[in-house]
């Protein structure tokens, strides 16, 4: 991000305080964060400097990336790949009667997520990775060849790496005593291939909003489309929406 773009974004997110914070960061070089006050949100959110937090904020909060008109009001929502919590908080404001389960695998992202969702008792943060089996899985940065990097491009894989809890959707639902999930948002950087090839848990879902990452794991789209038979499909930007046919 250029200095000009950074100042412009900082002012849009946090006003003059954001501009001063960014200026101090540029001049002194100490790690800082911005406390942004999103329009329509009840509470401020924390965004780290020199990370992709600003992109998550811009896409979800300012760009309304998940603003779809559903034919129902969700009561149970799973946000897998919740990053720093922007989508979970957005869903909480849009669907105030819903319980939101926010799952994030990468430790530093989860720490910010936990801070951001603390004022919202309806959001339950879980430090784990959605996966095809229960146990542990490794978290590592995305392949630079994919053209994606930063604090939201972490991927999960078998083998060496930073370990985090791995959990399946059925286990998650059982632990939280959820019989069905009205809305599942998934942005897990390619792990959707494993998740959707394991079991038929999607039968308990009414709507799926997902970003597909065939550039990380070829076959992601095929796995999701195969599992989501009986759903209508809508594409908008990077998000694919599957809605169960009535």
Tell me the pLDDT tens digit for each residue of 29-86: 554 788 888 888 999 999 998 788 888 898 999 899 999 999 999 999 999 999 999 9
Strands (DSSP E) found in 25-157: 33-36, 45-48, 76-80, 99-104, 123-127, 129-130, 135-141, 154-157
Phi–psi pair at 163, nearest 5 degrees: -85, 145
With contact defined as beta carbons under 8 Å apart, do 35 and 13 qualify?
no
When the pLDDT of each residue in the chain is averaged and rounded to a whole number, the result is 85
> Given this model, what pLDDT does residue 31 score?
47
Q: What are phi and psi of 165, to 5 degrees?
A: -60, 135
Q: Which whole number is the average pLDDT over 9-22?
A: 47
pLDDT in tens, 180-234: 999 999 999 888 999 998 878 999 999 999 999 888 788 999 999 999 999 999 9
- The token pair at 39 is 């329009």
| Model pLDDT, residue 1 | 47
Give pTM, 2 decimals: 0.85
CA 139 to chain CA centroid, nearest Å: 15
Edge-to-edge strand list for the sheet holding 162-167: 129-130, 162-167, 135-141, 154-157
Q: Residues of the chain with pLDDT > 70: what percent? A: 83
Q: Which residues lie below 8 Å from residue 206, measured CB to CB, with a gap of 6+?
A: 72, 74, 180, 181, 182, 183, 243, 244
Domains of the chain and CATH, by start:
1-64 (no CATH), 68-244 (3.40.50.150)
Dihedral class, residue 236 (left if φ above 0, else alpha if ψ from -120 to 50, else beta):
beta
pLDDT of 3 higher than 50: no
Q: Which of 182, 153, 163, 159 is nearest to 53 (CA)?
A: 153
* Burial (CB count within 10 angstroms: exposed 0-12, middle 13-18, buried 19+), residue 215: middle
């Amino acid at each position: 991000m250029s200095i000009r773009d950074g100042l412009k974004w900082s002012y849009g997110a946090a006003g003059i305080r954001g501009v001063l914070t960014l200026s101090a960061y540029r001049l002194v070089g100490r790690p800082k964060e911005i406390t942004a006050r999103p329009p329509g949100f009840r509470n401020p959110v924390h965004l780290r400097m020199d990370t992709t937090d600003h992109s998550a904020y811009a896409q979800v909060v300012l760009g309304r990336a998940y603003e779809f008109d559903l034919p129902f009001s969700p009561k149970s929502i799973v946000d897998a790949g919740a990053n720093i919590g922007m989508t979970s908080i957005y869903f909480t404001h849009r669907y105030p009667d819903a319980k939101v389960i926010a799952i994030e695998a990468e430790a530093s992202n989860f720490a910010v997520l936990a801070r951001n969702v603390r004022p919202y008792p309806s959001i339950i943060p879980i430090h784990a990775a959605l996966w095809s089996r229960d146990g542990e899985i490794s978290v590592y940065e995305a392949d630079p060849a994919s053209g994606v990097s930063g604090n939201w491009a972490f991927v999960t894989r078998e083998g060496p790496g930073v370990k985090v809890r791995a959990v399946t959707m059925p286990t998650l639902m059982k632990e939280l005593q959820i019989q069905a999930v009205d809305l599942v948002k998934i942005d897990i950087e390619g792990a959707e291939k494993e998740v959707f090839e394991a079991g038929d848990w999607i039968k308990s879902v009414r709507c799926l909003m997902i970003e597909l990452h065939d550039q990380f794991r070829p076959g992601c789209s095929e796995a999701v489309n195969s599992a989501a038979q009986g759903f209508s499909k809508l594409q908008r930007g990077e998000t694919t929406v599957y809605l169960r046919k009535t």
